[in-house]
Structure formats: C-alpha cells, structure tokens
C-alpha cells in the first residue's frame, strides 16, 4: 500500500514557511541519501569542497568557513583522514595549529560528491523550468542574505 502524504490544515499549507520547511525536508532527505551512497555526510562534502576550492586551511578556519562546530570539524576531519581523503600536518608558522590539505583521492571524492549534489538539484527541482530554477535560487539567496544580516 502506498504511503499517504500527511495533510496540513488548509490555511497552513499555503504559507511560505510551511512550503519552505516541507521542501527543505525533502531536499535534506535527497541530499542525505545521495551522500550516504558514498558513505559520507553533508559536512564531509562541505569540508572537501572548501579544501578543493580554497586550498589548505587550519582546522579552525575550515570549520568557520564551512559553518561547522569545532568538535564536529575534528570528528569529520578524523574520518576523512582515516579514509585518506585529507591529511593533517602541523602548521609550520604555528606548531600548535594543524593545517588540513586535500589529497588526490579527496579531490576525486569531492568531484563525485559534487556530481551527486548536481543530481539532487535536478531531482528536487525537476518540475521547474531552467528560468524558474534561476528565479527560485535568486529569491532564496535574497531571503537568506536578509536573515543572515539580522
């Protein structure tokens, strides 16, 4: 028997907050499933992508750049290092800090995860035209920028 989607009160189901939260739930599920196929999570991708784009960084800077809590960064980097996707080395300028660098295997994985992210975007936004996708992205970017300033 097919699962029936939960019904919401009519007044709620047409509000942007409800629609955004329900869509975000679907997006999160699709992304989690996509990254799980690689035996990784979203924060692994954020770290790998940041290293691939911007080069080596201290653990603290990497965590701030990716918006990941310090303790979660340590655990994620330990996991990535254990898989040979990143290397951790003392910072020559300050031996108390570690510098994290992506390996060739990590760069390859970042590309595969990026492909997964692209597929998830296509799946999530399938009912929209390219123009509508661009418009949605612009509007969501504007909303997020506004609320991040507050």
Number of domains in the chain: 1
This prediction has a pTM of: 0.83
Both tokens of 126, joined, read 């399938």
Measured between alpha carbons, how far is 60 from 73 in angstroms, rounded to an integer?
Answer: 8
CATH of the domain at 114: 1.10.10.10
Cβ–Cβ < 8 Å for 88, 78: no
* Any domain includes 4: no
**Domain assignment present for 5:** no
In a domain, residue 144? The reply is no
Q: Each residue of 13-59: pLDDT tens digit? A: 788 998 999 999 999 999 999 999 999 999 999 999 999 999 999 99
For residue 107, the enclosing domain spans: 34-129
């Amino acid at each position: 028997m097919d699962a029936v989607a939960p019904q919401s009160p009519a007044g709620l189901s047409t509000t942007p907050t409800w629609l955004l939260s329900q869509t975000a739930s679907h997006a999160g599920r699709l992304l989690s499933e996509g990254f799980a196929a690689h035996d990784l999570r979203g924060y692994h991708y954020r770290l790998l992508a940041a290293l691939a784009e911007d080069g080596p960084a201290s653990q603290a800077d990497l965590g701030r750049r990716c918006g990941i809590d310090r303790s979660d960064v340590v655990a994620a980097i330990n996991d990535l290092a254990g898989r040979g996707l990143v290397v951790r080395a003392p910072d020559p300028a300050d031996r108390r800090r570690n510098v994290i660098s992506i390996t060739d295997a990590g760069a390859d994985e970042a590309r595969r995860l990026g492909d997964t992210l692209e597929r998830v975007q296509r799946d999530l936004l399938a009912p929209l035209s390219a123009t509508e996708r661009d418009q949605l992205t612009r509007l969501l970017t504007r909303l997020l920028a506004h609320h991040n300033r507050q």
